[in-house]
Amino acid sequence: MSLPRVFSRACRKAIARSSTPALPQCSTLRASYTPSTSFQRPISSTTIRRAAEKNDLATEDPEFSIPESVSMPAESTSDDLNLATESAEANQPVPLPWYLQNRPALSPQQAAIIPDLPPNPPPLLSTLLDYIANTAGLDDIAILDLRHLDPPPALGPKLIMLICTARSEKHLHVAADRFCRYLRREHHLRANAAGLLGRNELKIKLRRKAKRMKMLANVGAIEQGNIDDGIRTNWICCTLGKIEAHPEDVDMPGDNVKEFVGFRDITPGVNIVIQMFTDEKRAETDLETLWGGVLRTGDRKDRVAEERLRELEESLDEEELEEEEEEEEEIDEVDEKLATPRALRRAEKEKAAALAKTTQAPPSPPSPPPTPHFTKMQPSAGDVFPPASDTRRSQQIRRFHSVGLRV
């Protein structure tokens, strides 16, 4: 665009502004252009000043100004709405910051599932189950009652086994360690936890294993796979020993057997064993299936023994009934004999004797006595002893050994 054309356009706009009357402006607008009759824009303005005035946002062109008759109702309604919202916000209470607010009430969590107790349980068993489920946080608790197994298991007679699952290897060791300390502190029981690593011992061993594997990787060795290195056991067997039994639980397996074969301890009490696993190790070991089969076998043997005992008792009852019936029949016969007269009884005896004589076979003639036969014994051909009448024996002279003797 050339400079004469810019000057001509600026001149035309200045003349138009000076000739048009001033329009009424809205009082609510922040800034509006109010022309003056004495104001004349100099023609010698530079292009930079014109461009700055053109791009200025504060100045408004009167050609695009809104009349007061049109814009007044809308502005009044918007002002009313703003005042209403401001008054509503002023009436609302100011919310408290988070550090001054009260904590919300905790929602009731689902209680841990504790299995039913076996018949005649030890007094301490319910306390142990509550600690394992709620304090230690172990899940899937199962109770195996092995008190009536005969022969008893190797862990001890009158055994009750608890099986539970931990969430991880770390949770397993922490729960077992705290459980042993709880037993020693509260109940004065020294539990034997097989497979439990001491505090920070697992961390130290894992760090050493990682360092060893890093050294092997640097020299190009290959990892040997998932081998049992004694660090990750995933299984802890916690044996409590003998605790007080129920007052009614006084039966001891094998206590009435003189020549008992197996594991037995006559001292009263109940052995408690807690088996703690991780999920993978529990599925791999599957102690429930193992001891469940043993319990089913024991129950089946007990049931067969009870059936045989019942059959024996029934047979004895039948024999006793038969003997009683025979005795009653004999008593009836005696009573009948005593009731019949003596003459009838004598006639019956004579008839019985006559029948016996007729039915008796005739006697056979006596056989003659056997005559004895004597035979002279003859020497056999292979007799080593010579006859007594041997002539050569008389001519035999006995000689003495005379070596070394001088006459």
Q: What is the pLDDT of residues 234-253, one digit of tens each?
A: 899 999 988 888 888 777 76
Q: Which ranges of 235-286 would DSSP assign to H, the alpha helix?
A: 279-285
Residue 328 belongs to domain spanning: 288-335
Same structural domain, 277 and 303: no
Give the DSSP letter string of 110-173.
PPPP-PPPPSS--TTHHHHHHIIIIIS--EEEEEEEETT-SSPPTT-SSEEEEEEE-SSHHHHH
Which residues are CB-contacts of 340 (< 8 A; sequence separation ≥ 6)?
Answer: none
DSSP-assigned beta bridge partners for residue 274: 162, 238
Same structural domain, 184 and 204: yes
Contact between residue 252 and residue 266 where contact means Cβ atoms under 8 Å apart: yes
Domain-embedded: residue 277: yes
Domain-embedded: residue 401: no
Q: Output DSSP code: residue 246.
A: P
CATH number of the domain where residue 170 is located: 3.30.460.10
Local structure of 108: helix, strand or coil: coil
Domain-embedded: residue 86: no
Same structural domain, 157 and 204: yes
CA distance 293 to 300: 10
CA distance 352 to 346: 10
Same structural domain, 23 and 55: yes
pLDDT at residue number 257: 64
Query: Across the beta sheet with 235-243, what order do the strands follow?
Result: 139-146, 159-165, 270-277, 235-243, 192-194
User: Which of 56, 21, 53, 60 shows the shortest CA–CA distance to 37?
Assistant: 21
Supply the pTM of this predicted model.
0.49
Domain-embedded: residue 59: yes
Same structural domain, 154 and 233: yes
Same structural domain, 184 and 279: yes
Same structural domain, 321 and 244: no
Same structural domain, 38 and 177: no
pLDDT at residue number 23: 46
Domain-embedded: residue 140: yes
CA atoms 138, 144, 146, 152: torsion sign: negative
Domain-embedded: residue 108: no
Domains in the chain: how many in total?
3
Radius of gyration of the chain (CA): 62
DSSP-assigned beta bridge partners for residue 165: 139, 277
Same structural domain, 178 and 240: yes
Residue with tokens 């009490």: 269
Same structural domain, 275 and 292: no
Tokens read off for 175: 């729960």
Domain-embedded: residue 377: no
Same structural domain, 27 and 65: yes
User: Which of 187, 207, 81 shows the shortest CA–CA distance to 131?
Assistant: 187
pLDDT in tens, 242-287: 888 888 877 776 666 666 666 665 667 899 999 999 999 999 999 9
| Residue ranges of the chain with per-residue pLDDT less than 50 | 1-7, 22-40, 44-45, 69-75, 407
Domain-embedded: residue 78: no
Same structural domain, 8 and 59: yes
How many Cα atoms are found within 13 Å in the side-chain-facing hemisphere of 270? 24
